[in-house]
Amino acid sequence: MTTETVTENVISQSAAAMTPPAPATSKRLVYRHSLPIRLMHWINVISLSLMFFSGLQIFNAHPSLSWGNYNNPDKPLLALDAREDANGNLTGITRIGKHEFNTTGVFGVSKGPDGTPTARGFPSWLTVPGPGWLSMGRQWHFFFAWIFVLNGICYIGYSLAKKHVQRDLWPTKADWRGIGRSIADHVRFRHPHGEEALRYNILQRLAYLIVIFVFGIGIVLMGLAMSPRMDAVLSPIVEFVGGRQAARTIHFIIAWAFVAFVLIHVFEVLISGVFNQLRGMITGYYKVDVEPVSVVKPEPVAVIKETSHD
């Protein structure tokens, strides 16, 4: 979207003190994220987090994943089991395919509310509610599922109407050509601080498009595919992905893919100027360096037409 941006010429103190004749580095505040986008972003943070934690609570009722329409207890893709020895000691076993790992304390067996080892898939500090309580986990999950879906519909509608998707997220030919350089920049943790920072780079564009249109829509569809009532109309999708247990497995995988995205996203925010980024998503204003101009100083422009990236 095109917004009016207010310029604020900040003289960089250090640069001015060191070399007085050198051109001053100025910074400009850009109104980058509109209010609806900021609101929807933080609503999404809350609903995704609570759906993740309550989802792990639901998973704990049957801490095993299978492919197909029914589950095969002997051949799970993943299982967080508990084994009891003759003395009554519990061992947490994580099974991935044919491989077994002792994960006592975290997966399979972890401390219950009273501090004693308890058989449970994910530990209580990762589930909502903390103790095993499937019916309440479902209440949390479905409540925030509605918020997530309604928020997501608003976001996609708003972003299409305001051409945010078309303009800021859809990669241009130039973006594709720069993919090699963008990857190199990312692995060296190099981030632009000037005007270029206002444009999403190709990796950001691809990440956001995939997260919104593949993960977001995919996880909702796979959630609905687990609903027996919805399956009366969705069974072609259920059978296409490989059955109801396959849909459950994909739902679980996408949930963790969201976690991976959030970790990378937060990491990038931390290394690219955490206060500036946070201010951008809270107040809307984002600060960029203005390239020093050496010879002719242009007239300060009060209002600049700028494509903001919200």
- Distance of closest approach, residue 190 Cβ to other proteins, in angstroms: 25
Rounded CA gap, 175 and 167, in Å?
12
- Distance of closest approach, residue 128 Cβ to other proteins, in angstroms: 4
Name the CA dihedral angle for 157, 162, 164, 166, rounded to a multiple of 10 degrees: 90
- Distance of closest approach, residue 223 Cβ to other proteins, in angstroms: 9
Nearer to other proteins, 12 or 139 (CB): 139
Rounded CA gap, 94 and 49, in Å?
24
Nearer to other proteins, 121 or 171 (CB): 121
- Distance of closest approach, residue 303 Cβ to other proteins, in angstroms: 42
- Establish how many alpha carbons lie within 13 A of residue 274's alpha carbon, considering only the half-sphere containing its beta carbon: 4
Is 173 exposed, middle or buried, given 0-12, 13-18 or 19+ CB atoms closer than 10 A? exposed
Rounded CA gap, 59 and 134, in Å?
9
Nearer to other proteins, 1 or 147 (CB): 147
Nearer to other proteins, 1 or 226 (CB): 226
Q: How far is CA 139 from the centre of its chain?
A: 23
Rounded CA gap, 24 and 19, in Å?
9
Nearer to other proteins, 153 or 304 (CB): 153
Nearer to other proteins, 116 or 135 (CB): 135
Respond yes or no on whether the N-terminal peptide bond of residue 20 is cis (omega within 30° of 0): no
- Note the residues at the interface with other proteins (CB under 8 A): 49-50, 53, 58-59, 61-62, 64, 69-71, 73, 124-131, 133-136, 138-140, 142-143, 145-146, 226-235, 238-239, 243-245, 248
- Distance of closest approach, residue 130 Cβ to other proteins, in angstroms: 5
DSSP 132: S
Q: How far is CA 243 from CA 73, 123, 237, 239, in A?
A: 16, 28, 9, 5
- Distance of closest approach, residue 119 Cβ to other proteins, in angstroms: 14
